[in-house]
Amino acid sequence: MRAALLHTYGSAPVLEARPEPVKAVHLVEVTAAPIVPLDLLCASGTSYFGQQPLPYVPGVQGIGVVRRSPELATGSRVWFATAAGMRPGDGSLAELCAVATSDLVPIDGELSDAAAAAIGTSGIAAWMALTWRARLQPGERVVVLGASGIVGQVALAAARHLGADHVVAVVRSEAAAAPALAAGATRVVTLTGQADRAALTERLIEAADGPIDVVIDPVFGEPAAAAADGLGAGGRLVNLGGAAGDRTDFSSAALRGKSIAILGYTNNAITSAQRAAALGSVLDLASDGKLEVSHVVRPLSECTEAWAEAGRSGTRVVLDPRA
């Protein structure tokens, strides 16, 4: 079979022939495989999961049809996850992929394979951050940091669907404002230069029309600190990443005085049942036309170029192994 094979940490994978995973209990024919930040992190060799034996096929998730399975009918459409880059073994950037029972999720609906793959684990993270960690209630005010990213795009749509009264998107450019509004934001705050924290907090509260109830934070750093300062009594900030910095500071007086909660989230902390339910919810939103994640499709044969594109683009790059 053809596969994107990583030979050296810090480099891009290259297209090569790879033996089919003949001993796989569940064998999936891959129809769409996104290149996500976790793939890039693991392939850099600097991941907190450590370095895995090389070479390996990257790809922590994908969409496909069942080729062989003791539990699912041949041809069943599935979303699947892998541990490629986190544990020894190959991932989804190939024509075929071996998948564990707990990592198979049957899916249906009219959504294209590429669109479903583009949402994937980012959609799961956004949904669970809002519902499970933040416990968002109808009528609450939500701020989404990093709103032009995939997690942010899903969080905007999901927050509106779940009944949030105000959904504020925080973006880094004026060009990102219109897509954020289309995704579900009621207001947009654009980060400009090196504005001080207090000024950003004031802008966020004004955009939310009052103290913030929930912050969805894929970026951390100063934006997270400013948003946390804008939380009202019982407010919750859920962190999912550190694109703007790994450290920041919060006011102890504010945390205690307003009973604020600073929460972390990772998809690794949820059960298979939670993951399947969350994925179903966000794919339903997309099928109903309430969610659209920007993505481009590239053939597997262009995996090296697509890898570089994924590293510099805000658009999700999805590989099609059939092309």
Which tens digit of pLDDT belongs to each residue from 186-197? Answer: 999 999 876 689
Cα distance between residue 243 and residue 231, in whole Å: 21
Instruction: Tell me the residue ranges of DSSP E strands in the chain.
Output: 2-5, 14-17, 26-35, 61-68, 77-81, 96-99, 104-106, 141-144, 166-171, 187-190, 212-217, 231-239, 261-264, 295-299, 316-320
Domains and CATH numbers, the chain: 2-108+293-320 (3.90.180.10), 120-267 (3.40.50.720)
Cα distance between residue 25 and residue 67, in whole Å: 10
Q: What is the pLDDT of residue 273?
A: 95
| Alpha-carbon distances of 229 from 106, 205, 212, 262, 263, rounded to whole Å | 42, 9, 9, 11, 15
Q: What is the pLDDT of residue 243?
A: 85
Cα distance between residue 186 and residue 207, in whole Å: 9
In order along its 323 residues, the chain shows pLDDT tens digits of: 999 999 999 999 999 999 999 888 999 999 999 999 999 999 999 998 999 999 999 999 999 999 999 999 999 999 999 999 999 999 999 999 999 999 999 998 889 999 999 999 999 999 999 999 999 999 999 999 999 999 999 999 999 999 999 999 999 999 999 999 999 999 999 998 766 899 999 999 999 999 999 999 999 999 999 999 999 999 999 999 988 888 999 989 989 999 999 999 999 999 999 999 999 999 999 999 999 999 999 999 999 999 999 988 778 999 999 98
The single-letter code of the amino acid at 173 is: S
Question: What separation, in Å, do the N-terminal and C-terminal C-alpha atoms of the chain show?
Answer: 13
Partner residues linked to 16 by β-bridges = 3
How confident is the model over 105-149, as pLDDT tens digits?
999 888 999 999 999 999 999 999 999 999 999 999 999 999 999
Q: What is the pLDDT of residue 194?
A: 63
